[in-house]
Structure 1
């Protein structure tokens, strides 16, 4: 009897042990070593402003919408155009029609079908001027008409052959909305989006966090993390500490002064990559004294850009030699304004600007790499040539609202940064320097420049386009609507137990393939 009881006890313990092992496997990893999806925390310098891709023009918002939405085409890790919702596409012989064949059976996160009608609805919405969406001019300049050819085929009639068209469809603004959700949400759409991407919006607590949860029905396969949480952390040192302690899995941007310390942490990787982003200070040309080209040129001579790059950015940047950054297609160097404070003083005197003239300098804090620190340095440079510079810093959301139109907002000099999200010179130059440009923060108006930018947009030949943009860059330099400062590098911090995080040169932080071990 004792032997029988011992055998029964042993068998019972073996069963319990097996159950425990099975339970542990299902909550941690299975026999193939697949880890159960975890939560990913991302600390950013500021938070997105809106989650409607057609009404957004800031990269933080686009980082979020890249999780929520899919597009007809997108970019791979190397920045090359690849299929997404469209499985194939073709361009007509005259270059004035692009046709996309869609994947079949794809559904939005609200379980409605994604078909050609949904694509047409999305683009017709942004092309309707009455909707006053931020990306109206982005597409209206070259798209004439959107056609539903069949349930899963859509075509676009173009106003002219447009060489970089596919890069425009691959930009975040090309994201396809659920028509049902757009109709239901109305003006609330930017806070309650529905796309067909790998993540859904779970929660948005303004100023605190945005939480995205995995879309289990994503056509491309269920994501490898359970949730992704964006946290706005404007203080640079706070972001770095969060990465070091594991409170954050990814941080962006990493400030150059933290790079070496983070590289010495065996739990952290620091990713440094090229960027199509430039940093500059638009001057309000619609008001005195900035309506005088001599003043604008003087302020360019007044700023010590080499020291900004070497001392403030620790070399993680490059003095700007053109109005847009070197990685942008169509870039050519037209030369930087050298640091020459004496020449700056002379030009100011010639323009009749008296010593002690008061001007305003505004900046966000935490949105761009070392933005406040750079703005403070520029303040010192401008004061050194005799100006009385009133300095103000703002939270990003507030700043965006008061720096959209030079005439309406009445600012003097503002810190701004432009990342050419398409990677093409057209979108690097036309929004900023065309008279009717959607981001013409200086208020520049120049007929010769307008003609060149229009020609560059409507010319298909690459060599001719490059020549056109070189001519345009020379005019922009001479007119000096901005204080041209630097081309950025992207610096991102990632915990070593996180894989699949990378950036595009257009400053998109791509997280949809992230895996946390």
Structure 2
């Protein structure tokens, strides 16, 4: 186990239990488990084509991964039996598991893996995540039916780690070749559950794969899943989701509302699981490519003006951890020595704006320079989560106190999408959960700024040669800790975002739900070993 994997394993254990308790009674087969999701419905069910936090919940039942990231941080075989890595880190030779079939009868083999890699990287897939993760992938050669040789353009230490994530699950090569346009609506994988139906805005349903016998080796059983059916129900409103659990209308809920966590813990009929997701904290990114946030002093001023601790304590009922930097505290490579660097200091914020030339103020108290108001535009979706809206409003109020006018906008969905692609915004929000510190490359490398050819995740549109160099060297290094420490320190100087909180994944469930677990690679409910004790 590498040092970074060991850190992540420890962090997951400290953050909360990862599996619902088993029953002393014998396991039972059958039944339908209903999970209430938080309403962040993926726009596409192709695991390679989405980045929604609900994505793995909806696709992992269908699509197995090449390898399994175990709870102790080691990489275990799954659809790959074994692998060898060349000394220069540029070649991975995978020996694949035999006897695996996709739900449409297609055979799992070296050609299937190659087709999946090409699909992830194909611009037509419009992958917001998988393509970034496998950006170093160059090409692959089929050695024999069950051996694939993969070549990278540069060494990439997290390669196996990210291949364990549900976003890089395997899809039928037949579907990719013959009907790629159908994957978003009806993904065909090799997983323990077979896709049935997606009723948009309501639910996704699945039934058990009776032929399944190739689960990860760390699983508690072999053969088909215990559950006969699985339903993922989208329940947007926090109160609706919690009340559905309390009333027994659903067996479990994902993203338990923070105001209900203590009630769940006090209820003898309910159980609770939670982990802090590794990766990038929930943040408001600042568009560094245009005014006013092209000026680092303006960015630093806004960061200093916002009382993040007070805001997060209030909106989360004390349940969330305030972010200490640009990766969460559960992320491998988190720079502990930088904790506490971001301070709430309105006086410093005002001084920075003075230094940036925003000296005058209009009758409303908004700063002026050369007759122009200090204004920033924050376009958000109409269904923006309530907690984030509270953060946005309080950030807007803090900014106004130092003379910065943040205008929150709610354009139509298509306009919002177009503006995001074009970079026509000053603030945007989100987080990025992943099991490697390479999240910093994904979020802040200048290579990941969206272009006409590729959709990148550097929504801050940050371009800093010093940071680029640190991140490129870190992702190629076998021992990248010091490089990632320097990168995190540099980001604190550059202030391309306001990091608010380390995002938890709190799941509540009825006690009759047994062996519900998280996938360690990307903390998300996993149902292969789950059964109903009723």
* TM-score, with structure 2 as normaliser: 0.83
* 1:50-89 superposed matches below 5 A: 50-89=44-83
Q: How does 1:96-495 map to 2 (within 5 A)?
A: 96-129=90-123, 132-135=126-129, 137-220=131-214, 221-277=223-279, 278-333=281-336, 334-335=338-339, 336-353=341-358, 354=361, 355-356=365-366, 357-363=374-380, 370-392=387-409, 401=417, 404-405=420-421, 408-419=422-433, 421=434, 423-426=435-438, 428-437=439-448, 438-460=456-478, 462=479, 465-495=480-510
Q: Could you tell me which residue of structure 2 aligns to residue 38 of structure 1? A: 31
Q: Is the 8 A contact 1:234 1:366 kept in 2?
A: no
Shift of 1:328: 1.4
Shift of 1:107: 0.6
Deviating more after overlay: 138-147 vs 494-503: 138-147
- Taking only aligned residues, the RMSD between alpha carbons, in angstroms, comes to 2.5
- 1:361-400 residue CA offsets vs partner (Å, 9 max, x unmatched): 34558877932332233223223333333334689x8798
- Residues 204 and 85 (structure 1), Cα distance of their counterparts in 2 relative to 1, 3 Å cut: same
Q: Which moved more, 1:251-260 or 1:310-319?
A: 310-319
In 1, Cα distance between equivalents of 2:151 and 2:461: 32
Residues 363, 372 of structure 1: 8 Å contact kept = no
CA distance in 2, matches of 1:506, 1:118: 24
Gaps of 5+ in 1: 1-31
- Higher mean alpha-carbon deviation, 307-316 vs 206-215, is at 307-316
Residues 365 and 471 of structure 1: CA distance in aligned 2, closer, same or farther (over 3 Å):
farther
Q: Distance in 1 between matches of 2:55 and 2:420?
A: 17
Q: 1:15 maps to which residue?
A: none
- Structure 2 unaligned blocks of 5 or more: 1-24, 215-222, 367-373, 449-455
Tell me the distance in 2 between the aligned counterparts of 1:151 and 1:187: 27
CA–CA separation in structure 2 for the residues paired with 1:177 and 1:59: 19
Distance in 1, matches of 2:126 and 2:253, equals: 33
User: Higher helix fraction: Structure 1 or Structure 2?
Assistant: 1
1:365 and 1:393 in contact (8 A); partners too: yes
Displacement of 1:351 in angstroms is 2.5
> What residue is the counterpart of 1:20 in the other structure?
none
In structure 2, relative to structure 1, the CA distance for the partners of 1:402 and 1:512 (3 Å cut) is farther
Instruction: Find the aligned partners of 1:317 and 1:139 in 2 and give their Cα distance.
Output: 28
SS in 2 for 1:74: strand
User: Which structure is larger by alpha-carbon Rg, 1 or 2?
Assistant: 1
Contact 1:273 1:505 in 2 (8 A): no
Report the Cα offset of residue 178 of structure 1.
1.0
1:136 and 1:76, CA in 2 relative to 1: closer, same or farther beyond 3 A? closer
Aligned length: 477
